[in-house]
Amino acid sequence: MYSVNVPVPGRVRALAADLYPSLVDFPVVREDHSLLLKRLGDADHVGALQRRAHRALEGTPTVEARVTGIEYFAEPPVGAAPVVYLAVESPGLEAVHADLVDAFGAVEGLEGEEYVPHVTLARGGDREMARRLADREVESVRWTVSELEFFDGSYRLPVSRVSLPA
């Protein structure tokens, strides 16, 4: 699965690392962190998909983003529940997501109106643990999104980057 992701700054990764001791009881804990902006799907011709994504991003400005706290999806549309995450507020990222949905279509139940910008911390396990984590206060982290990644989910590696403004 290919996607367009937002690399998160070191301060967000440090926040996630600080929370790690509170996450160890979840069956799956993310150790690498990014923000999924738009799923693009699988491709027979990766170069063509990448060029199409880059064209869809032309004219995209830098945008502001802010971690606002810890939240969780009690019943995510796919995968183990619950999903604990850092909530990210960013009207700019939501607008870029909408532009990419216009170009590639939406994955039902996950994108379009249902899209929630976030950085996943952990999934599976106990809903009460997730609720307690969501009650915790965390430092707000603000940053300027100045690049996006074309990401290969099979290998969990960025393939290329797009500097903003694109």
Query: Which CATH number covers residue 156?
Result: 3.90.1140.10
Mean pLDDT of the chain: 95
> Per the structure, how many domains does the chain have?
1
Q: Is 108 exposed, middle or buried (0-12, 13-18, 19+ CB in 10 A)?
A: exposed
Chain segment 20-53, per-residue pLDDT in tens: 999 999 999 999 999 999 999 988 888 899 999 9
- Give the global pTM: 0.95
CA–chain centroid gap for 129, Å, is 22
Q: 94 is in which domain, residue-wise? A: 2-163
DSSP 43: -
- Number of alpha carbons in the 13 Å side-chain half-sphere of residue 127: 5
Chain segment 145-160, per-residue pLDDT in tens: 999 999 999 898 999 9
H helix intervals, 57-157: 91-104, 127-134
